[in-house]
Amino acid sequence: MPNTEYEAVIGLEVHAELKTESKIFCSCSTEFGAEPNTQICPICTGMPGVLPVLNRKVLEYAIKTGLALNCEIAEFSKYDRKNYFYPDLPKAYQISQYDLPICRNGYLEIEVDGQQKRVGITRVHMEEDAGKLVHQGTITATPYSLVDLNRSGVPLLEIVSEPDMRTPQEARLYMEKLRAILLFLGVSDCKMQEGSLRCDANVSVRPRGETRFGTKTEIKNMNSFRALERALEFEIDRQIELLEDGEKIVQETRTWDESKQATFSMRSKEEAHDYRYFPDPDLVPVVVDRDWVEAVRETLPELPDAARKRLVQNYGLPEYDATVLTLTKDTLDFFDRCMEEYHDAKVVSNWIMGELNRLLNQQNLEITECKVTPFGLVSMLRLIDEGTISGKMAKSVFEEMFATGKQPEVIIKEKGMVQISDESALEPIIARIVADNPKVVEDYRNGKDKAFGFFVGQVMKATRGQANPKMVNDILKRILSGA
Amino acid sequence: MALTGKEVEHVAMLARLKLSEEDQKKFGEQLSAILDYMKRLNDLDTEKVEPLAHVLPLHNVFRSDEARQEFSREEMLANAPLEESGLFKVPKIM
């Protein structure tokens, strides 16, 4: 039960790995899942005497993202060194941006209970990712650590929000919207499980009506939208309980433990953050003139909000459908390709949000990995419209399409699944079933609705589900009223 | 501008240096002398000087986004003091 005398203040720091071919300051590949240390070179392992050079695409993706998030794009921007010791950081500093980030002062909009809400974006900056530590056993019991530097130097955007969110739900909506925008831009593949989209949260609570912020904690290690929401719920409750007991909140970093469903203090030995930023002398500044910004603006694709409006206005889809269909670019593309061939948007939407999403979730697949094509789905919808198969038969046809990638016509033929819409074939079957069940006929005439359903069921059974349901209804009514 | 003992200790900690009391005093004096020397810049009139982010008169040096492998794993691990299954082996961190 949420305590309504308090409100939470939440800000998010999101790291998105950019979908470039090569790393931010060297030519090593960024491909995920390679053998350890096979995509490294003297630059991304911090050897002395090397010279990092900026990947132009990283800057372009940063400008693109900044524009999509309604930010000001800095004319003059530079790189700084953020100094700290950790084995996954071979140079003992991370190249990042400190006081002159590439983008500032933007926002994105989320919809909370039917209301539009604007969440401010403080800044977006470019930086390099660190490597990965591999432990033998648990992090505290391991005798030593092993380091894989493939990820070291992979380009990241850090996107920092204003503390504008008030509930875990708003934080989740913000994250979902941000992910959708990045996916539509094609700048990141945003896979939270693989770590290409990561999120830390700053959260504090205060009595409702108070305008000053309470003491905040920083939460790390939330690897899914669900984890983000649950971790924030837990942390908000924890902080409120402390305040209620008259205790103080300690400003600290806490980690979300998925198995225990709780946050724990990280008790780092490191003193208060003191990164001693200074300009990186190896990298020259970046100057982005206004023509360049406008040229990038020209290349912006349709973004989720615009797509959602288009689906509502052009096709009359409900807001809910439009939101679900625009959560990823791939889902929207699937829908749009269906609509090039088919007239009824709501039917297409129902199949994508229903059967297709159900099967995708069940098998943990992306829409681009699935075997059903927009053409396949449309072909199947036509077969329903033409009366060749019933809606009920279509569900099993669709499952088969999903499993095998076969076209619906082929599946129907192979399984002998064609709908029987021939009156002269159906009538004798129905007449026989009615004649065999005089007692149920009696029930029907005494007004028992169930009796009609029984006959429909029997006809379907006799025809292995292939009878045209509408025709069965018509013939049954006629026979039952006349006989 | 004398640095306090605490400040010297903090800087040493950030650099992961263990200083004896004697060292702390010695480095404290040296660091203070450097800061005093740099303080002379404060006396200059910089009213009309643009802030400088970089000493080279250059900007926008880019490479194109092309991936290639220039070093093998064996080469990259050759200088590592310790190695295991293709990974750098380091003391445990916690």
Cα angle B89, B90, B94; round to 5: 135
Report the CATH number that the domain containing residue B19 is assigned in CATH: 1.10.20.60
Question: What pLDDT does residue A141 have?
Answer: 67
- Rounded CA-CA distance A18/A430 in Å is 63
What is the three-class DSSP state of A283? coil
Question: Tens digit of pLDDT for each residue in A134-174?
Answer: 876 666 667 888 999 999 999 999 999 999 999 999 999 99
Q: What b/e sequence results for A440-465 when a residue is b if at least 16 CB atoms lie within 10 Å of its CB, and e otherwise?
A: bbeebeeeeeebbeebbebbbeebeb
CA A416 to chain CA centroid, nearest Å: 39
User: What's the Cα-to-Cα distance from A190 to each of A231, A350, B69, rounded to whole Å?
Assistant: 20, 26, 25
Q: How far is CA A481 from CA A37, A92, A421, A468, in A?
A: 79, 88, 21, 20
* Within a domain: B92: no
Report the pLDDT value the prediction gives residue B53, as an integer from 0 to 100: 82
* Domains by residue range for chain A, with CATH: 6-293 (no CATH), 423-482 (1.10.10.410)
Neighbour-count burial for B15-46, b at 16+ CB within 10 Å, e otherwise: eeeebeeeebeebbeebbeeeeeeeeeeeeee
In a domain, B88, yes or no: no
CA–chain centroid gap for A459, Å, is: 44
Residue in A356, A352, A421 with CA at minimum distance from that of residue A383: A421
Distance CA A105, CA A120 (A): 7
Nearest CB to A41; choose among B14, B65, B71: B71
Contact A53 B73 (CB under 8 A): no
Tens of pLDDT, residues A415-468: 877 777 788 888 888 888 988 888 888 888 888 878 888 888 888 888 877 788
| ipTM of the prediction | 0.91
Number of domains in chain B: 1
Residue of A37, A277, A283 best to disrupt the B interface, most CBs of B under 10 A? A37
Mean pLDDT of A123-134: 95
Q: B69, A147: Cβ pair inside 8 Å?
A: no
CB contact under 8 A, B66 and A147: no
Q: Within a domain: residue B39?
A: yes
Tens digit of pLDDT for each residue in A227-248? Answer: 999 999 999 999 999 999 999 9
Q: Which residues pair with A468 in a beta bridge?
A: none
Query: pLDDT averaged over chain B?
Result: 91
Helix then strand then coil, % of chain B, to nearest 5 = 40, 10, 50
The string of pLDDT tens digits covering residues A338-382 is 999 999 999 999 999 999 999 999 998 889 899 999 999 999 999
Q: Which of A460, A459, A469, A457 is nearest to A429 (CA)?
A: A459
Q: Given A45, A78, A149, which is nearest B53 (Cβ)?
A: A78
**Given a cut of 90, is residue A97 above it in pLDDT?**
yes
- What are residue A179's phi and psi, to 5 degrees? -60, -45
Q: How far is B45 from chain A (nearest CA, A)?
A: 23
Residues 292 through 311 of chain A touching chain B, CB cutoff 8 Å? none
Chain B partners within 8 Å of A39 (Cβ): 69
- Establish if B27 belongs to a structural domain: yes
Note whether residue B34 is domain-resident.
yes
B69, A39 contact by CB (below 8 A): yes
Record: contact B66-A87, CB cut-off 8 A? no
pLDDT for A267: 67
- Collect all residues of chain B within an 8 Å Cβ-Cβ radius of residue A87: 88, 90, 93
- In Å, how far is B51's CA from the nearest CA of chain A? 12
Shortest CA distance from A84: residue in chain B: B14
Assigned domain for B32 exists: yes
* HSE (side-chain half, CA atoms, 13 Å) at A369: 8
The parent domain of residue B32 ranges over 5-43
